[in-house]
Structure 1
Amino acid sequence: MINVFKKEDGHSASNDWVESHFSFSFGNYYDSDNVRFGPMRVLNDDTIQPNKGFGIHPHREAEVVSIAITGQLKHEDSLGNSGVIEFGQVQRMTAGTGILHSEINPSETEPGRFLQLWFFPDTKQLPPSYEDVKFDVKQLTNQLLPVVAPSASTGVAMIHQDVTIYLSKLEQGKSLDFNQEEDRRILVYVISGAAYLNNEHLIGKQDSARITNLSSLDIKAEEDCFFMLIDLPGGDL
């Protein structure tokens, strides 16, 4: 089953320093039917103005992934970690037993866009940790490139959950197939452009699709399309 969530099905919010689109309930936006998808709890698409951002704040019992789309994002935390990511990099933070962190756009002039994703961990009371990983952007073209997975490897950040995050830049008219084991879930999120899913469902920028009971998915670019695909566990959590 493919359930399409158009941008307008979620919630957008903005002020003088950030414009955000929430795919799931977040902050002041709450929908009891839109709280999670398997272990996935948050998918926020944020554009932050220069020298602005999210000041120091706490997290616990969450796997937090940030993916830079444009501009820069600077991370600092109570463990002493600090790093700046830009397009071609992702960061993973395990909040575990508790961590304080901030996420700021350090540029003086350029807005920064990034995706922030939260997942429930597969193990509670983990020690907090942080990493940022660089991947080869040339490998995005017309294929699915894993950037986050349960096991770390070159260009892939490690997450404490049975989740794999892929990115792809699919050229207009090109298609690719994704096959997974039965009883799992798929989430597709369009960062830019538009694509058809199984030649039937058209999704565009900031639209998403939540897919269950479907082991094979065909993705065809209606126009040049930059998207994220997440392979998630099924069953009750």
Structure 2
Amino acid sequence: MIKVYSKESRFSRDHGWLQSNFSFSFADFYDPENLQFGSLRVFNDDFVQPNEGFGKHPHQEMEIVSIVLDGELKHADSEGNSAVTTFGGIQRMSAGTGIYHSEFNPSSTNEVNFFQLWFLPDKKGVTPEYEKTTYDISKMKNNLLPVVSRQASENVAYINQDVTIFMSDLEIGNELTHTQEAGRKMFLFVIEGEVTLNGDIKLSKRDSVRLTDETSAKILANSDARFLLIDLV
């Protein structure tokens, strides 16, 4: 089954300092028919103004991934971790038994745009942990580049769940196919540009697709396109 979600279907909230777009129920947006997709519980597309951000707040029993698309994002937490991430970087936090953290735009001039994803962990009670990794942006070109996975490496952040997140820059006319075992799911999010999925599904900037009981996804770039693909349970 393939279900398409246009960018207009997302719940949006403008707080002045923060423009948020929710793909799933979050905060004051509640839709009992849209709570999660497999282990993916939250997918927020956030724009934070200069010198603004989320103050210290708690998390527990959740895998939290922040992917910066533009600008700078500063993280600090109760475990003593602190780091600034830009495009080409990943922040992954295992909230585990409990942690406090803040996320802030340290720039005085430029907004930051980032995705924040929450995944349900495959085990509870882990010690809270923070990790920052970087990946080679050039390797996204016409390729599905893993940036988060349970099979971690030097440039791939670890996650306590059977999930892999890929980033890709697909040039116009090029095509990529991702295959997976039966019973798994795929979540595709178009960041920029336009693509065609499996021959006939047209997708534009900020549209997304949820694939269930499909073993492959064929993605053709109708223009130069950037997208994120998640292989998950």
TM bracket (short chain): over 0.9
2-side partners of 1:15 and 1:221: how far apart?
34
Q: Which residue does 1:170 correspond to in 2?
A: 170
Matched residue SS, 1:223: coil
Matched residue SS, 2:127: coil
Q: Which residue does 1:123 correspond to in 2?
A: 123
2-side partners of 1:208 and 1:62: how far apart?
23
2-side partners of 1:205 and 1:53: how far apart?
25
2-side partners of 1:106 and 1:133: how far apart?
19
Q: 1:86-165 residue pairs with structure 2 within 5 A?
A: 86-165=86-165
2-side partners of 1:29 and 1:202: how far apart?
27
What is the TM-score when the length of structure 2 is the normalising length?
A: 0.99
Q: 1:13-24 residue pairs with structure 2 within 5 A?
A: 13-24=13-24
Name the aligned partner's letter for residue 130 of structure 1.
Answer: Y
1-side partners of 2:34 and 2:181: how far apart?
25
Q: 1:205-216 residue pairs with structure 2 within 5 A?
A: 205-216=205-216
Deviation (angstroms), 1:76: 0.1
- Segments of 5+ residues of structure 2 without an aligned counterpart are none
Deviations 1:94-136 (A, max 9, x none): 0000000000010010111000000000000111000000100
Name the aligned partner's letter for residue 47 of structure 2.
Answer: T
Name the aligned partner's letter for residue 59 of structure 1.
Answer: H
Deviation (angstroms), 1:203: 1.4
**Number of equivalences:** 233
Q: Which residue does 1:185 correspond to in 2?
A: 185
2-side partners of 1:203 and 1:120: how far apart?
27
- Segments of 5+ residues of structure 1 without an aligned counterpart are none
What is the TM-score when the length of structure 1 is the normalising length?
A: 0.97
Q: Which residue does 1:50 correspond to in 2?
A: 50
Q: Which residue does 2:230 correspond to in 1?
A: 230
1-side partners of 2:56 and 2:84: how far apart?
16
Matched residue SS, 2:222: strand
2-side partners of 1:31 and 1:16: how far apart?
24
Deviation (angstroms), 1:172: 1.2
Q: Which residue does 1:68 correspond to in 2?
A: 68
Deviation (angstroms), 1:151: 2.3
Q: Which residue does 1:201 correspond to in 2?
A: 201
Which runs of 4 or more aligned residues in structure 1 lie more than 4 Å from their structure 2 counterparts after TM superposition? Answer: none
> Which deviates the most, 64-73 or 203-212?
203-212
Matched residue SS, 1:37: coil
2-side partners of 1:29 and 1:225: how far apart?
29
Deviations 1:58-86 (A, max 9, x none): 00000000001000000000000000000
Deviations 1:192-232 (A, max 9, x none): 11111001111111111000111111001111111000001
Name the aligned partner's letter for residue 89 of structure 2.
Answer: Q
Output the aligned Cα RMSD.
Answer: 0.7
